[in-house]
Structure 1
Amino acid sequence: MIERKIRLSFLIFGIIVYSVGFMGFTYQQMPDYFNKDLVSYDESTNAVVSNNLFRDVFPPRLRLNPLDEEYAGWKEGPDWQHIPPLSFYVPYPFYKLDGHPSIEVRRLSYVFLAYLQGLVFLIVITALFKQKRAILAATLASWLWLLSPFVRQALNANAFGYSDIVLSFSVVLSIMMTLYYFFHDFSYEKKKEKFFYATIVAATLPILVKNVLG
């Protein structure tokens, strides 16, 4: 019992250290999250293709960008630029208040996902390994992970744009696999376990793909 409390104390210490480091880095990058407008390249090109993939899966949608009628290059015409309603109704009122485009909501969701990955890593290491030094090593690893090019580019938004299509496909795939896992009657437990791990991979792969493709 005492040993368990000690391990829990080490875990709490690791989470605090990791959270402080993450919040500090995020605070430094915060200006980069809100420096784009609704008609720049990411918003009017990559986001359009990404959202058009979602429109094939989710029901009723409306115009992607009601503030701008002009689209150039290979982008689809305004009448075909749609998104699921919630993707518009939720961010748009905030845009009217502070001028931040809806794409920033997605970007901040990546920030939260990156934080969650490090947090889950610490908890899993604590659950699997009994040694206190394993928890300390996991805390150090989470800090090094914050300093890695993957996390830095994901958080400062430098690698944000081109992989929206792949990201959207991965998100849709993970949602479908999750629903299948919960509602499908598997013939035996081992098969269900394997599909569970496959679902985890599908759910965590998008942000990795996003970083690789930019």
Structure 2
Amino acid sequence: MERTVGLFTGQESPPCCTACPCGAVQCIKGQVSKLTSVVRYYPAYNLGMSMKSLFPLLALLTACTTANADDPYLRKGISMDNAALNYVNRGVFFRLDGGYNGGGLARAAKDDKLGTAGSSCCFTITDLKKPVQVELRWSPINEPTVLDSNGRLVFGKELTPAVTKNVTVNLPHRLPRIIPNDYKNSEDVMCLVIKGLEDVELKYSKGYDCKDE
């Protein structure tokens, strides 16, 4: 005779263990606790079917553990500041995920000096596998502005018109190394590295200048 004592059989599914986000681990712990009670009071040869019924639970627990093995706080999201490093000789306004994950204005690279964007708020990581949509609004390239003989500004002719590019980019393959109260070594800045009109990359950085990108 099979003694389940509250355990579900292999043909049934426990009501609270159908998905990891809604308390499956707690449910599994409860079911395992019940099985432990059974083991205490009944011989092992009577628990063959009950042990088999536990396998789906263990599989679910393994799946949940694997999904959360490397993301100790992804459920709440990891909030980071934004910064940018621009290799291109024209300024660009950028938005991440339509502005939901921030944006900013990166200055043009000039005289072998890369353009930067300072800091802005905020980029939130909730899923390392979710790609980021980057909108790049490139400013036009104009001839230099000069003063005429009367001291008035004369704006230069437009050489290259403004253009907008949209790029999909992946997050780094690991979580940032966030070190509480250690602003020198903590990777708490998401740096958008802009290498071309449609060539961008996201990297973690320890500072707003993105020097360690």
TM-score range, shorter chain: under 0.3
> Which structure features the higher share of strand residues?
2
Which of structures 1 and 2 has the bigger CA Rg? Answer: 2
Q: Which has the higher contact order (CA 8 A, sep 6+)?
A: 1
- Length-normalised TM-score, structure 2: 0.25
Per the normalisation by structure 1, the TM-score is 0.25
